[in-house]
A and B are shown apart, each in its own frame.
Chain A
Amino acid sequence: MMSAPLAAGAWSAGSLSLAIPEIALAVSACLILLCDVYFGAGRRGLTATLTMLALTIGVALTSRYGLSLHRALLFNGLYVADPLSGFLKMAGFIAMATAVYYSQDYLQQRGIRGGEYYVLCLSALLGIFVLISANSLLTVYLGIELLSLSLYALVAFDRDSGIAAEAAVKYFVLGAISSGVLLYGMSMLYGLTGTLDLDQLSLAVRHDPDAALIIGVSFVVASIAFKFGAVPFHMWVPDVYQGAPTSVTLYIATVSNLGSFALIVRLLAHGLAGAPAIWTQMLMAVAVLSMLVGNLGAIAQANIKRMLAYSAIANAGFVLLGFSTGDNAGYQAALNFTIAYVLTTLASFGMILILSRKGFEHEQIADFKGLATRDPLLAAMMLALMFSTAGVPPFIGFWAKLWIIQALLGGAHVWLATFAVLVSVIGAFYYLRVVWYMYFEVAGDRIVPEPRRRLRFILLLNTAAVTVMGLLPNALLSLCQRVLP
């Protein structure tokens, strides 16, 4: 562990210190892998503890070295450090630490003890970080591949599970196609402009759009939509969410979302800032379809993971709507939405994890029946989370949606805003159904959840954050304004 700061110290003469988060992450992933090989046998929880330690150190180092108040370029302009990158990386560390914390018991109960699990999570996070700081088409591609390959392996991690393997294959095949599409689009952009650098690209596309540019951009947008799980590239989402081990679903639904956000910020909002007319229209169409399909699809689900998958599709629609405004107000709103969504979804999946036991996957919505009598505290927390995701005050989800609507109206998209709020009403129904099962139905023969005090405490903190940031939303809103000026 200690080698990370040492390594940084040795190079600190240069401006490398801004890349400390990635360096620390890469070094600690390697070290943890080694530790697991040599000392891991027979010591349960060693890698998990080391991972938590690595993430804590990462947070400390990032807050010391990795935060940049200005835009700074490294590695010949391949890598950018700006306020946004520092903010997203901190969010990534914290989200992953929370996710790891929620997953530990679940993994142990299922005999998934391999240290590789945590190493893959760390390397996925590294991929996200590379995406966050990408300033060149190549860096973007590098980040997205690192992230995706780690995720494919994670989805298949429970190797005895047929449904997980099926999900992993689907994810892999579709993801590989999407990567190919992205590469193809990038090659067209390169051919048209002669540059891979996103700064130069944004200047080079500042002319009347021709057919080739439009085709190139549509390939890029398609691949971004795939990453977000937006319609019509959403097919993998429900299967992967349902098939993957819940802890992996948690990771994909939350931490990985930060990567998708970074991808669209760097590629479209920055790299193609010169030609917004092309992609804002496409994003609008994709967003509207996602919100429709996601919200309508979620109604029909009986499996909560699958329901949350459709909810993720609908929420991706909201984020894309924010970007479809093509202005900073929209990007800020999308950032705020992403953070709010990650925070709430962490707790929602944490709830599924805490309710699962050895030999019992708590994944049917019907499993929530009567939770209000069996465990009032967990039920009250889940109620808050569901209403937050539905966008009802006083929870954080309300402000997230409000800001997107405001950005849309600011861009004079009155009908899109109206559409967005109306589909939210459809969406409210399936979140309410969880509350209905918890509160209005009788428990039957379902058992009282295990106490698990530490996990419960973190979950409580997480839900408290969802509520407090809903009561006092200013801090997050102004932070989003500051990092995306």
Chain B
Amino acid sequence: MQHIGLLSVVIWLPVLGGLVTLGLGEQRARMARWAALVSALLTLACCVRLYAGFTGGTAEFQFTERLAWIPALSSQYDLGVDGISLPLILLTAFMTVPVIIAGWTVVEKRPAQYYAAFLIMEGLMIGVFSARDALLFYFFWEAMLIPMFVIIGVWGGPRRVYATLKFFLYTFLGSVLMLVALVYMYLKAGDYSIASLQQLPLTLAEQRWIFLAFLLAFAVKVPMWPVHTWLPDAHVEAPTGGSVILAAIMLKMGGYGLLRFSLPITPDASRELDWLIIMLSLIAIIYIAFVALVQQDMKKLIAYSSIAHMGFVTLGAFLVFFIVAATGSPQGAGNGMDGAVVQMISHGLISGALFLCIGVMYDRLHTRDISAYGGVINVMPKFGAFMVLFALANSGLPATSGFIGEFLVILASFKAGFWFALLAASILVTGAAYNLWLVKRVIFGAVANDKVAAMQDLDGREFLVLGVLALAVLAIGIWPAPMLRMMEPSVQHLLQQVLTSKIPGAA
């Protein structure tokens, strides 16, 4: 395809919208706000068209676009979506709208720049998910750090400078080594197309180094224990919208990278080092869940719960080798990868919703301390209902999306071995513990103090945002089939790639 396609529109429309918003400036904040909302909605509409036009049942990339970009480096402007990236793109476009609406009356400091940063970031994130050229991928992957750096730094909490510098340098450090690995492979493969990197034969020693370089980049983004420490800081200091985007989408890039790069490009090293990922995932699931339990700050609690839940994504993605070793066939390994993708989407919706809920409370009381609240449901019944729903979804209640992802991964881990399943399933207990305890302390009980008593229930804008998210969480939880069908061929294709050795000479 030679002309500008729908994917390009979805990437560059929000970026353009962001620049227009920026150009309108703070003097015309009202217009800027509307411009931002309109561009976010238009992008979402285009994404709906993307979804409608997507043909299931094939692992082929669709909506492909290919233009010469940097012939000097054999790099192309090459876009396309498959069953793994499309859900993430939909999630990105879907979550940006509530972020913009949620900031509508709340953001008073330089609103035009605030919206512009989010819109530009939306475009770049969609670019990450749709790039089929490794250099283009890296281009979007790094560029996205700039708006996030500004968002946390300008609109964040008291220690925002520390948090945003830590965030930037951590993720920058993680990704530069990936760049070295990509260039190394480019010199062997002759171009940057992800497909040819996936077919490039590599010795085990090379794969090992490349795997570790990728791992650092993706593990920092996921984030996996022990390189997770930037996340709680960034979350606590980020404004509500920043937390939502961070948790809902940016963390997914790490998981996406593992599925798109690590597994298919270095399958043999993945097989050799899968114990490392699985160990780190289980530590995240078990240990970080306990860390979440003791948090005093609501945002920190959800941030730690995010790390634990992302542990399921990495666990599900890398169980395949243990399953093959234990049962002799890859049957059931698909469940783990399905679970990983579903968990990413579901966690995106749920954690985003929870951060929005905390934002709602923060806007009224200007504190995130759990101890400052209590009995909120008495004064905010509508809000209480939403908060309880999302907290339960976060602990994996059946009929919510949180259940599907965790269930699929636990199912797969049973195939790999009883102990994996037991350890992974511990989150059903610990997750329930920190979520329910949070709800008990904040939402239920007697009204804690006069400030809580004076809280107003949700207004129409907030109700709309949380309502839409609740619908999405329930829809995926009750009827996950469309999503699973969409990703199934791509997951099977990935599974095949993972199980085929790339060591030259090996069969």
A residues adjacent to B (C-beta < 8 A): 372-373, 376, 380, 383, 387, 392-394, 398, 402-403, 405-406, 409-410, 414, 417-418, 421-422, 424-425, 428-429, 432, 435-436, 439-440, 472-474, 477-478, 481
Contact = CB atoms under 8 A, between A and B. Distances in A.
Given A392-B146, A428-B169, A421 B180 contact: yes
Given A376-B113, A428-B172, A478-B71, A440 B142 contact: no
Contact of A406 (B143, B168, B172, B183): B183
B139 interface: yes
Tell me if B's interface is mostly helix, strand, loop or mixed. helix
Given A393-B142, A425-B169, A440-B161, A376 B25 contact: yes
B110 interface: yes
15 contacts: A373-B110, A376-B25, A392-B146, A393-B138, A393-B143, A402-B183, A406-B73, A406-B183, A406-B187, A414-B184, A417-B183, A421-B176, A422-B177, A425-B173, A473-B72
B149 interface: yes
B155 to A, nearest CB: 10
Interface residues of B, number: 37
B494 interface: no
A425 B142 CA distance: 13
Contacts of B165: 429, 432, 436
Contact of B110 (A372, A393, A472): A372
Interface string B375-398: 000000000000000000000000
Contacts of A383: 146, 150
A410 B172 contact: no
A78 B22 CA distance: 55
Contacts of B184: 409, 414
Contact of A439 (B22, B71, B153): B153
B143 A394 contact: yes
B160 interface: yes
B142 A398 contact: yes
A418 B177 CA distance: 7
Sorted from nearest, which 8 A-B pairs have the closest CB atoms?
A421-B176, A477-B72, A440-B153, A474-B70, A478-B72, A393-B139, A425-B173, A393-B143
Given A421-B177, A421-B179, A473 B142 contact: no
B437 interface: no
B69 A402 contact: no
Given A394-B139, A474-B71, A432 B149 contact: yes
Contacts of A474: 68-73
Interface of B: 22, 25-26, 68-73, 110, 113, 138-139, 142-143, 145-146, 149-150, 153-154, 160-161, 164-165, 168-169, 172-173, 176-177, 179-180, 183-184, 186-187
Residue from the set B138, B177, B183 with the largest chain A CB neighbour count within 10 Å = B183
Tell me if A's interface is mostly helix, strand, loop or mixed. helix
Nearest to A398: B142
Given A402-B179, A432-B168, A436-B165, 19 more contacts: A376-B26, A392-B143, A392-B146, A392-B172, A405-B179, A409-B184, A418-B177, A421-B177, A422-B176, A422-B177, A428-B169, A429-B169, A435-B153, A436-B153, A439-B150, A439-B154, A440-B164, A474-B68, A474-B72
Nearest to B185: A409
A259 to B, nearest CB: 26
B149 A435 contact: yes
Contacts of A405: 179-180, 183
B344 to A, nearest CB: 25
A89 B172 CA distance: 36
Contacts of B113: 372, 376
Residue from the set B70, B168, B173, B176 with the largest chain A CB neighbour count within 10 Å = B176
A392 B72 contact: no
Contact of A392 (B69, B142, B187): B142
A392 B145 contact: yes
Contacts of A421: 176-177, 179-180
A438 to B, nearest CB: 10
Nearest to A482: B72
Contacts of A376: 25-26, 113
Nearest to A394: B143
A474 B139 CA distance: 14
Contacts of A409: 180, 183-184, 187
Contacts of A414: 180, 184
Nearest to A436: B161
B146 A387 contact: yes
Nearest to A421: B176
Contacts of B146: 383, 387, 392
Given A406-B186, A436-B165, A418 B149 contact: no
B138 A425 contact: no
Given A414-B180, A474-B69, A440 B160 contact: yes
Given A398-B142, A439-B150, A477-B73, A428 B177 contact: no
Contacts of B145: 392
Contacts of A439: 150, 153-154
A432 B146 CA distance: 10
Contacts of B169: 425, 428-429, 432
A7 to B, nearest CB: 39
Contacts of A428: 168-169, 172
A432 B145 CA distance: 12
A417 B209 CA distance: 14
A392 B110 CA distance: 25
Nearest to A433: B165
Given A393-B139, A436-B165, A380 B72 contact: no
Contacts of A406: 73, 183, 186-187
A10 to B, nearest CB: 42
